Amino acid sequence: MSPADETAGNAAERQAFYDRIDKSNMTALWTVLDGLVTPEPRSACRPVGWRFDAIREAMVEAGGLITAREAERRVLVLENPGLRGQSKVTTSLYAGVQLVLPGEVAPAHRHSQTALRLVLEGKGAHTAVDGERVMMSPGDFIITPSMTWHDHGNESDEPIYWLDGLDIPLVQFLDASFAERLGEEEQPVTRPQGDSLARYGGNLLPVDYQPAAASPTSPVFWYPYERSRETLERLSRTQDWDPCHGLRMRFVNPATGGHAMPTIGSFLQLLPKGFETQRYRCTDATVFTCLEGRGRSRIGDETIEWGPRDIFVAPSWAWTSHEAGAESVLFSFSDRPVQEKLGLWREDRGNA
């Protein structure tokens, strides 16, 4: 028998073995190992951008088709083109844009998933979290911790749009999802507006606060853009510009110094006009939103142009660089806290 015949006979014998064990719900590791333990991250997530003008146009149409009460949450999901049909913006995170029209209420509910809101357009509407209501303005960053009651209402005369970011895919992967409806449109307001910010956001803590019992989610749930922008402006006068990030800060839990949310990292960065970052990559796929300015980002082989309220994604381990055509502010979020806790997070600063 020739070597070729021996190889063919061996292959047939192996395939018969694979077919036989398949019936017992077993698989030979050596046939799939290359796809399980990869030399570098290998993701179906792709670079992609959404223009806010196009999102708004679709949302206006949706507003005429279904009410916030009927939908419970009138949201258009931003699906990554490499992950269509899965309601994922990255492999571990969800993103969507929500619309609440004048006079509407998005009814109170709670769920296991942690959520963030980034106000894109409109002001005068409110969101309530665990008994505290705050008024929303463009650029405001708002947290809804896991299993906290939350509802939204719009008493203004203009529609309001915001970006929702949630850890839905991660919670779904862990089979840990729970959800409840309050049964009333709006929860009772039990604390004055700004109470959590006053208690925990001014470099002071209540005297009997116990850090050991601190929640992994920030006790501050409303981060007004006005304050965050002022911080960037002050630091820009003295801070050295990072070659990969410009001036990039992270939102924190003031009680622990950790990330504001246990599963989602949130960041704000300033890029001066004409600033070009050096290429950079990291393992946390990142969702960016332009709050001010305009520019472009090179992500892998793709170039994405962006302006105010536009949204775009940099996949895990994809070389990324930004070029600011005007002074620009970018908000971003990712699953970095999870990766850091697990000892998995890694970055590559390229030529920096």
Q: Are 345 and 283 in contact (CB under 8 A)?
A: yes
* pLDDT per residue as tens digits for the range 81-125: 999 999 999 999 999 999 999 999 999 999 999 999 999 999 999
* pLDDT per residue as tens digits for the range 137-178: 999 999 999 999 999 999 999 999 999 999 999 999 999 999
> Mean pLDDT for the chain?
94
pLDDT mean over 17-44: 96
User: What pLDDT, on a 0 to 100 scale, did the predictor assign at position 239?
Assistant: 83
Q: Are 132 and 162 in contact (CB under 8 A)?
A: no
CA angle 181, 158, 201 (to 5 degrees): 65
* pLDDT per residue as tens digits for the range 288-302: 999 999 999 999 999
Secondary structure class of 220 (helix, strand, coil): coil
pLDDT mean over 327-345: 98
Secondary structure class of 50 (helix, strand, coil): strand
Q: In order of start, what are the domains of the chain with their CATH numbers?
A: 48-348 (2.60.120.10)
User: What pLDDT, on a 0 to 100 scale, did the predictor assign at position 1?
Assistant: 44
Distance CA 234, CA 228 (A): 10
User: What pLDDT, on a 0 to 100 scale, did the predictor assign at position 214?
Assistant: 65
Confidence (pTM): 0.94
Candidate from 134-143, 208-217, 239-248 with smallest mean pLDDT: 208-217
pLDDT mean over 278-286: 98
